[in-house]
Structure 1
Amino acid sequence: MNTRPATASARSVDDHRHRVEQLLRPLAVRDVDAVPMTDALGRRLAEDVRAPVDLPVFRNSGMDGYAVRAESVAVTPVTLPLAGVVAAGQPGLAALPPGSAMKVMTGAPIPPGADCVVPVEDTRAGETTVTFERGRAAGDFVREPGTDVRAGELLTAAGTLVRPRHIAALAAVGLAALPVFRRIRAAVLTTGDELMPAGTPLGPGQIYNSNGIALGAALAANEIDVVAVEHSRDDPDEFRSALARATAAADVVFTSGGVSQGDFEVVKDVLAGRGGEFGSVAVQPGGPQGLSVVDGVPVLSFPGNPVSTMVSFEVFARPILRELGGLPPVPEHALPLRDPVRSPGGRRQFLRGRMEPDGVALASGPGSHLIAAMARADVLIDIPAEVTELAAGAIVTVWEL
């Protein structure tokens, strides 16, 4: 492994990520909404939810079979008279006469007087009688009220990310709505005269606007509500208008493009005049970065090259957004390199890689324009700023995409 001292003039990745965290952390305090159960999937519970009823609600059968007294089938085979049939949801349940059996369906109420259920496969049924080939003990295949959860017990704790399994339990106790935190709302604003929407024929020097769609997808994949995706030409007034709409609708705004050292850096030109900080981070790709607050709304400004935009989101924004949303941290792994790696000294490099059974392979070169190649990657390979060369087999940290 070859090393070189990190560049002193640029902000470190950890320093910039800390600044992003400080900028976004106030978004943890959000309103609480009561949403219908059908809209609760993927939302974070704001309060403990306690069961309003017992589960099971009533004494019911765990099998299709026959409800009996255990003492009646203690010695088998034995034939008992059939006193009736109990269906699920049947009202006005009659008591079980001593020395008889009632046919019951799974989930049907257990008739008073019965204390067990004999599965149908252990019996031979006639028209008016049933023969039991095997007995059962009291309590067998009887679901008692509250054996799953008692009324008043904690069902789902505050902070729980609601998944289908939670919906099943919460719906089973009859809840129609849940108290959840409002999701963080984000707006995406791309810039550049050269960007065209998909489906539009390209003219000379034009490219398709992938960053708006890609950033919106990255945010949605991390439980963020994307309230707007807009594009602005490199025109200060147009950008100001789009930014005003974005900050009015969102809790945080992400911009792409216009932050470097060129002549038409509309994002930097507008936001630096409003107190925004723009500079270089010792990272590749994604060196030019900006942080601003506009009308009380944090604005994160990423460079416009497609890979730079996506890597910037993964490295700087995704970890804190997942923390604020209560999602688990971005998974990391220590894996051996399948290929040797060279890296520019002084900049922490995030190469695109692919996990293989024997380690991590490079999925593309380091270029910040190689967005199609990034689609073949499933991890970022984290190469420290002081490292310039790693041999195949060296252990590296990878971040799952």
Structure 2
Amino acid sequence: MTAPPFRDVRGRGFSRRSTLDAAWAWIDGRVAAPSARPLPLAECCGLVLAEAVAALGDWPAADRAATDGYAVAAADTLGAGSYNPVPLTGAVAVVAGDPLPPGCDAVIPYESAQAAGPFVEAVDAVAPGGGVERRGAWMAAGSPLLPAGRRLRPADLGLLAAAGHRILPVLPAPRVRLLLAGGPKAGAPEQLGDMLAALVRRDGGVVEAVAALPADMDALAETFAQPGADLILSAGRTGTGPDDAAPPALAKAGSLDLHGIAMRPGGSAGLGSAAGVPALLLPGEPMAALAAYELLAGRAVRRAAGLPAALPHATIQAVTARKLVSEIGCLDLHRVRLDDDGKVEPVASPGWPGLAAAARADGFVLIGADSEGVPDGAPVTMYDFTMYDFTMYRFA
């Protein structure tokens, strides 16, 4: 595919911007999950199952005690009561998980028995099968356990171990190279590395490296072109200033296919490739970087991990407490909170920089490029900053 001509916006500004739909189509057309790989069970947490998994055998493998007590023949306890203790000459002490001894079909708990010298007496009757987990009660050989596409949780590993699995076919986590281009200006502390690395991990990726580089086109281009990563994220120096070297560096290393997205914040984001690897450019302003990650880079990481591309946030249906102002021709990400009545109100405009407002927000509302805003009292969908829709991750 021939790379589009590079349009240098430094000192000129953006003559046009691509739609978010066009950016999503670019990501969906270039980012895909890798081939499945067999990995030991202990290394699979958080990865996506490539194939459905079934039980290799019955579990439990035999009838076993479900509680601590005495394994008995239930018929031997008939008529037992607190005023009529029944001796149990064949009782065998067991703990939960022990296989039932031959001739036993129930477990009487300690509370329903009492010691009488060297013997045990039942003070309550027990029915056949009482206190027992039957063979195959939790799973039978060949029964389905987990579907393909499920992102594995810690509890899943225990279930799979019980089912006899030691190696699983999974989609390996994508290796993400994270570049911080130019660093913060005016002595401000670095704010992007930890935040973006955490977001990459949330979406199923592994950060290959976090490299801070000067705003130098040649140094950036060289790092873009280095092999080893499945995906490259670069944050900073994407705008129209003279030191905004990330876009020309990506164009030099490979291609800059889209630069400038009709969204606020994050409108100076870009997409391209280097050494055959998709690369996404995020703005250096922290809130713009967060927005561009959520709406662009996160989609790429999730697709590379074999997860659904859609936003992972849990959603809340609410109404606005007051109008959310937007701009025609640009998708706006509004940081919002829920007031005491459960209504949505803005905590900052889409153009307001900094992460302080995001910390005060409960989530965000997206207003489409064809809208001038949302009036007060109108229904909206809020994407929750603090909760994630795990059905999107196929946990359910």
Measured against the shorter chain, the TM-score band is: 0.7 to 0.9
Q: Which residue of 2 aligns with 1:150?
A: 140
1:259–1:278 Cα contact (<8 Å) kept: no
Alpha carbons of structure 1 residues 177 and 368: separation in structure 2 relative to 1, 3 Å: farther
How far does residue 326 in structure 1 lie from its aligned partner after superposition? 4.7
* Bigger radius of gyration: 1
2:48 is the alignment partner of 1:55: no
Q: Please give the alpha-carbon distance, in whole angstroms, between the structure 2 residues aligned to 1:265 and 1:391.
A: 37
1:291–1:301 Cα contact (<8 Å) kept: yes
Letter in 1 for 2:179: L
Deviation per residue, 1:99-127 (Å, 9 max, x gap): x3333322222221112222221223212
Q: Please give the alpha-carbon distance, in whole angstroms, between the structure 2 residues aligned to 1:138 and 1:31.
A: 47
Q: Please give the alpha-carbon distance, in whole angstroms, between the structure 1 residues aligned to 2:246 and 2:293.
A: 17
How far does residue 150 in structure 1 lie from its aligned partner after superposition? 2.5
Alpha carbons of structure 1 residues 373 and 137: separation in structure 2 relative to 1, 3 Å: same
Q: Which of 165, 171, 180 is equivalent to 1:181?
A: 171
Q: Which residue of 2 aligns with 1:265?
A: 244
The within-5 A match list for 1:336-375 is 336-356=319-339, 357-375=341-359
Deviation per residue, 1:330-357 (Å, 9 max, x gap): 2333321123222233222111122345
1:258–1:264 Cα contact (<8 Å) kept: yes
The within-5 A match list for 1:1-400 is 9-24=16-31, 27-35=32-40, 37-77=41-81, 79-83=85-89, 100-192=90-182, 195=184, 205-245=186-226, 248-273=227-252, 274-327=254-307, 329=310, 330=312, 331-356=314-339, 357-400=341-384
Letter in 2 for 1:28: A
Q: Please give the alpha-carbon distance, in whole angstroms, between the structure 1 residues aligned to 2:350 and 2:205.
A: 29
| Greater mean alpha carbon deviation, residues 182-191 or residues 144-153 | 144-153
Letter in 1 for 2:297: A
Deviation per residue, 1:256-286 (Å, 9 max, x gap): 2233222222122222344312433221111
SS at match of 1:363: strand
Letter in 2 for 1:29: P
| Greater mean alpha carbon deviation, residues 105-114 or residues 381-390 | 381-390
2:175–2:229 Cα contact (<8 Å) kept: yes
Alpha carbons of structure 1 residues 243 and 279: separation in structure 2 relative to 1, 3 Å: closer
Q: Please give the alpha-carbon distance, in whole angstroms, between the structure 1 residues aligned to 2:223 and 2:189.
A: 19
Q: Please give the alpha-carbon distance, in whole angstroms, between the structure 2 residues aligned to 1:8 and 1:296.
A: 28
Letter in 2 for 1:32: R
Letter in 1 for 2:319: P
Letter in 2 for 1:339: R
Q: Please give the alpha-carbon distance, in whole angstroms, between the structure 2 residues aligned to 1:395 and 1:340.
A: 11
1:45–1:162 Cα contact (<8 Å) kept: yes
| Greater mean alpha carbon deviation, residues 148-157 or residues 276-285 | 148-157
SS at match of 2:49: coil
TM normalised by structure 2 equals 0.83
5+ residue gaps, structure 2: 1-13, 386-396
Letter in 2 for 1:154: P
2:79–2:86 Cα contact (<8 Å) kept: no
Alpha carbons of structure 1 residues 141 and 249: separation in structure 2 relative to 1, 3 Å: same
Alpha carbons of structure 1 residues 157 and 260: separation in structure 2 relative to 1, 3 Å: same
2:69–2:93 Cα contact (<8 Å) kept: yes
TM normalised by structure 1 equals 0.82
Alpha carbons of structure 1 residues 333 and 15: separation in structure 2 relative to 1, 3 Å: farther
1:354–1:376 Cα contact (<8 Å) kept: yes
Q: Please give the alpha-carbon distance, in whole angstroms, between the structure 1 residues aligned to 2:22 and 2:317.
A: 23
Q: CA RMSD in A?
A: 2.5
Q: Which residue of 1 aligns with 2:6?
A: none
Alpha carbons of structure 1 residues 50 and 279: separation in structure 2 relative to 1, 3 Å: closer
Q: Which residue of 2 aligns with 1:91?
A: none
Q: Please give the alpha-carbon distance, in whole angstroms, between the structure 1 residues aligned to 2:170 and 2:114.
A: 52
How far does residue 324 in structure 1 lie from its aligned partner after superposition? 4.8
Q: Please give the alpha-carbon distance, in whole angstroms, between the structure 2 residues aligned to 1:332 and 1:324.
A: 24
5+ residue gaps, structure 1: 1-6, 84-99, 197-204
1:308–1:368 Cα contact (<8 Å) kept: no
Alpha carbons of structure 1 residues 155 and 394: separation in structure 2 relative to 1, 3 Å: closer
